[in-house]
Amino acid sequence: MKVIVLGAGVIGVTTAYQLARAGHQVTVVDRQPAAALETSFANAGEVSFGYCSPWAAPGIPAKAMKWLFMEHAPLILRPKLDRAMLSWMARMLSNCTSARYALNKSRMLRLADYSRVSLAALREETGIAYDERMQGTLQLFRTPQQLEASAKDVKALAADGVPYEVLDPAGCVRAEPALAHVREKIVGGLLTPADETGDCFKFTQALTARAETLGVTFQWNTKIERLEAEGGAIRAVITDRGRMTADAVVVALGSYSPLLVAPLGISLPVYPVKGYSLTIPITRPERAPESTVMDETYKIAITRLGDRIRVGGMAEISGYTNDLAPARRRTLEHSVSDLFPGGDLAKASFWSGLRPMTPDGTPVIGPTKVAGLFLNTGHGTLGWTMSTGSARVIADLVSGKAPEIDARDLAISRY
């Protein structure tokens, strides 16, 4: 079939690659001049198959109130008269129950584990290099309360067969030797050894080149204006460079996906939650992480990417704004300098991106009520982690095949 993929972030590019492998004629459309220049550009670098949890969790409403008054808060709320924002927040709060958390985490772990297998297969098939490491994620606890609260995650990991280790401070230092000089700040950790790290931008750029060898066409610098449907089926994509027809269209536009599909009567509960990152040159390798350390206090990931440290995190609910708030930079600097003072902060690059979040944390992958129109969006903080599995699921669905995992509860029909 002739398939148009809208969006050239890591989700769109992996989707295009898998569709081309399935034998389809694929065109990718993006407003940027190249791949992965928005949310996929400088994310935290985690490929977190085990450290994979919904933001909506029991106790989050109470924590959120406390965070609002913290200097280095993991959550920043800038409320405005925005119906989409208020509706999304209400739905997220409704998912902050033990039952909903367990259900949503199980969905996420299913897709993440499939992505683990899919990424390994793709890496073997293509030989792509992207500063990858396979040394796990260490969730670091600074308080006994944090360690105790991790029990719900341990239970979910065990139920889904995901490898994990609960570590004491000495175990944390064995996993990440550079933590030895701050051992007194640590009460324990949760290690998910199957997790990986890597530069999402490098990966997406390299996979774009591979996709082109399979015949995928990339139409850059093209603004997507609207979708055209007739008789309950998708007919075309209207851009500022003309009308493009297709047998199927996959919307992989991240936070902008709901804006495009709304005129077709599709209510997609995806809202932008801004994250920030610093990319820091390593000057003292012995004081740098080996893999990813998640600082649970600030919800900040500190990741080794070759000769750089990527520090990423925070959740700012402020709409479609991409300004760089100096206070957010100070929080990133505080976390990394407190644990790993092995980089040159004066030479750090500061970045922000809009993560496409659903209220339950689970992405929306599958068909819509408009025949031929598919969604692959809403991955939140886990787009890099879930990209390869999501791409295989959507490629199978577009091809009329049953995916290799149960994907029925990932579709928009769950809402």
Which amino acid, residue 73?
A
Q: What angle do CA 316, 321, 323 make, to 5 degrees?
A: 85
DSSP 136-203: -EEEEESSHHHHHHTHHHHHHHHHTT---EEE-HHHHHHHSGGGGGGGGG--EEEEETT-EE--HHHH
Q: Interhelix angle for 98-126 vs 383-398, to 10°?
A: 80
50 is in an annotated binding site: no
Residuewise pLDDT in 10s, the chain (415 residues): 999 999 999 999 999 999 999 999 999 999 999 999 999 999 999 999 988 889 999 988 888 888 877 889 888 988 888 899 999 999 999 999 999 999 999 999 999 999 999 999 999 999 999 999 999 999 999 999 999 989 988 988 898 888 999 999 999 999 999 999 999 999 999 999 999 999 999 999 999 999 999 999 999 999 999 999 999 999 999 999 999 999 999 999 999 999 999 999 999 999 999 999 999 999 999 999 999 999 999 999 999 999 999 999 999 999 999 999 999 999 999 999 999 987 789 999 999 999 999 999 999 999 999 999 999 999 999 999 999 999 999 999 999 999 999 999 999 999 9
Report the alpha-carbon distance of residue 381 to residue 277 in Å, rounded: 12
- Model confidence, pTM: 0.95
CB atoms within 10 A of CB 243: 11
320 is in an annotated binding site: no
DSSP 12-48: HHHHHHHHHHTT-EEEEE-SSSSSS-STTSS---EE-
pLDDT the model gives residue 30: 98
3 is in an annotated binding site: yes
11 is in an annotated binding site: yes
229 is in an annotated binding site: no
6 is in an annotated binding site: yes
**If you count them, how many residues does the chain have?**
415
pLDDT the model gives residue 335: 95
280 is in an annotated binding site: no
Pairing of strands 224-230, 46-47: unpaired
10 is in an annotated binding site: yes
Report the alpha-carbon distance of residue 387 to residue 14 in Å, rounded: 7
Closest CA relative to residue 293, chosen from 182, 144, 189: 189
317 is in an annotated binding site: no
270 is in an annotated binding site: no
383 is in an annotated binding site: no
117 is in an annotated binding site: no
Pairing of strands 46-47, 364-367: unpaired
99 is in an annotated binding site: no
12 is in an annotated binding site: yes
Pairing of strands 248-251, 373-377: parallel
293 is in an annotated binding site: no
